[in-house]
Amino acid sequence: METYVLGADCGGTSSRVVVATLDGRVAGRGRGGAGNPVARDARAAAAELGAAAAQALAGLDPARVAGVVVGMAGRSRLADPATAAAYDAVWAGLGVTCAVRAVGDAVVAYAAGTPEPSGSVLIAGTGAVGAAIEGWAVARTADGLGWLLGDEGSGFWLGLSAARAAARALYAGEAAGPLVAAVCAELGATDPDALVSTVYAVPRDRISALAAVVVATARAGDPEGLAILADAADRLARTLVSLRPGPGPVVLAGGLLAGVPEIRDGVQARLAALLGRPGVVGTDGAAAAAWLAGREIIGGDGAGLHASLLGREALSTRDEA
C-alpha cells in the first residue's frame, strides 16, 4: 500500500498543499485562501487550509498519510489552545491521524531551494525578510519588521516609494514623468493634496499594488522606475548580507524574487559581488513542506526525494560558485 506525506505552505494570501509518495511522485495538489492565523481569524484560516488539503487528498486514503509538515508565518499562535484546536479539528475532520508539525514559513522557503540543512534565505513579496537557517530551524533574522519599520525592498516598499516620488514631484511643481502620471492615474488624484490624502486613506494593499506600476514604468525605460527597482535590489541584498551568511546555500523566495526578473537579477548580481555566489530561486513551498515530512520518514539527507519533488539536484556551495 502506498504511503503519503502532506506538505502545506500557508501564506497571507493563499494556501497550497501537496500530497506526495515517498518516492517523490505528486499524488495531489490543492489551493485555498489565507491559511495562517496572522492573516485572519484562526477558524477561518484553518478552514482554508482544510479546503486546500481536501482538494489534495481527493481520491486518496487520508489514513495512509504518514507525515504532515505545515509552513506558516505566525506559527507561534498555535501555542494558543483555541487556535491549535481549530487546526486540530481540521485534520481530524479530514481523517488524517498522523502527527502534524508546523514550521516557520522561512524554513519551507529555504527547503524549496535546497536539501542542505543550513544556509540562508531571502524572502521578498509584499514584505521582506532574511533568515539564517541552522539544522532546519531559523537561527536569526534580518528585517521582516513590517511595512512601518522595515520590509525594505518589498512590494509594499516599492509602492510606497512610488507614492513618495509622486508626492514630491507634484509639490515641487515638476512635470509628471511616466511613473508620477501612472501613480496619479492609479490613485485617481492629480494634485498634491489630493494624492497625499488618498495615500493615507486607502487600504495598504492599494499601496502594495503600486509595485506593479513601478515595474511597468521601469520596463518602459522610465528612469524613476528603474532607480526604484535598483534601490530595492540594493536593500534586499543588504538584508541578506547583514546575516553574515556562512558557506551554506543561499535561497531566494517570494513573489518579487520569483516573478520580477529585474529585481531578482539585481539581487543576484549584488550577492555574487558581496558573497561570491548569487543564490538560487526556490520553487514550490508546498512540495518543500512535503519533502520535509518525507525526509523525517525515510531518513538520510533526502537529496534524491528533494530532486524528484522539486526538480533540481541538491544545491551546495559548489553549485553556486
Are the CB atoms for 177 and 185 separated by under 8 Å?
no
Beta strand pairing call for 65-72 and 4-10: parallel
Around Cβ 78, how many Cβ atoms within 10 Å?
19
Q: Which residues, at least 6 apart from 279, have a Cβ–Cβ distance to it below 8 Å?
A: 122, 240, 249, 250, 251, 252, 267, 268, 271, 320
Q: Does domain 4-113+283-320 have CATH number 3.40.50.2300?
A: no
Domain with CATH 3.30.420.40 in the chain: 4-113+283-320, 118-281
Low-confidence ranges of the chain (pLDDT < 50): 313-321
Give per-residue pLDDT as tens, 191-206: 999 999 999 999 998 9
pLDDT of residue 34: 85
pLDDT of residue 312: 57
Q: What's the whole-model pTM score?
A: 0.88
Find where cell 513618495 sits: 164
Q: What is the C-alpha to C-alpha distance for residues 38 and 244, in angstroms, rounded to an integer?
A: 29
Q: What are phi and psi of 182, to 5 degrees?
A: -70, -40
pLDDT of residue 18: 97
Return the closest-CA partner of residue 74 out of 65, 86, 61, 83: 83
Give per-residue pLDDT as tens, 30-51: 999 988 888 788 899 999 999 9
What is the architecture of the domain spanning 118-281? 2-Layer Sandwich (3.30)
